[in-house]
């Protein structure tokens, strides 16, 4: 959320601020995604019908955590004063670092008949939806 807030408040126009915000995000998101993959793996699928979705999510979170770890390293090496900073930044992480991929996975969970209701009731999900709405997301 702080990354979005920084970008909406003009950080997207300042490469140094953008780099700092992205490093802050990736340094927190990488281990969180990795942990999410590990915890989902440990929990197992909630039902036999959800096994394929569960396996897909475990793989997604684990690979995304690995990708963001590498992105953090590569991002730290970028110079915000470099005229090619924006171009080099766009190339980091490839498809795996694309935030829309996480949104696609969450949408699959929301659309699942057994799990979708949890997204409308779980306190953490409700709080996240309220934060997104306050940012215009």
Residue 78 zone, left/alpha/beta (φ > 0; ψ -120 to 50; rest): beta
Report yes or no on whether pTM surpasses 0.75: no
Digits of tens for pLDDT over the chain (137 positions)?
Answer: 677 676 667 766 788 888 888 888 888 888 988 998 898 888 888 778 888 888 998 999 899 899 889 989 999 999 999 999 888 988 887 665 666 777 788 788 788 877 777 667 777 777 767 766 665 54
CA distance 59 to 42: 13
Could you tell me which residues come within 8 angstroms of residue 36 by beta carbon, excluding any fewer than 6 positions away?
61, 65
Q: Is the dihedral of CA 50, 52, 53, 57 positive or negative?
A: positive
Local structure of 8: helix, strand or coil:
helix
């Amino acid at each position: 959320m702080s990354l979005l807030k920084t970008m909406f408040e003009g950080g997207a126009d300042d490469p140094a601020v953008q780099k700092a915000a992205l490093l802050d995000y990736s340094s927190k998101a990488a281990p969180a995604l990795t942990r999410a993959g590990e915890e989902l793996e440990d929990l197992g699928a909630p039902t036999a019908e959800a096994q394929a979705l569960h396996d897909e999510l475990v793989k997604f979170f684990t690979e995304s955590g690995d990708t963001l770890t590498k992105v953090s390293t590569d991002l730290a090496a970028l110079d915000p004063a470099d005229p090619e900073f924006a171009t080099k930044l766009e190339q980091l992480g490839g498809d795996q670092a694309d935030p829309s991929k996480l949104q696609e996975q969450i949408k699959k969970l929301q659309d699942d008949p057994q799990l979708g209701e949890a997204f409308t009731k779980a306190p953490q999900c409700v709080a996240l939806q309220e934060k997104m709405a306050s940012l215009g997301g």
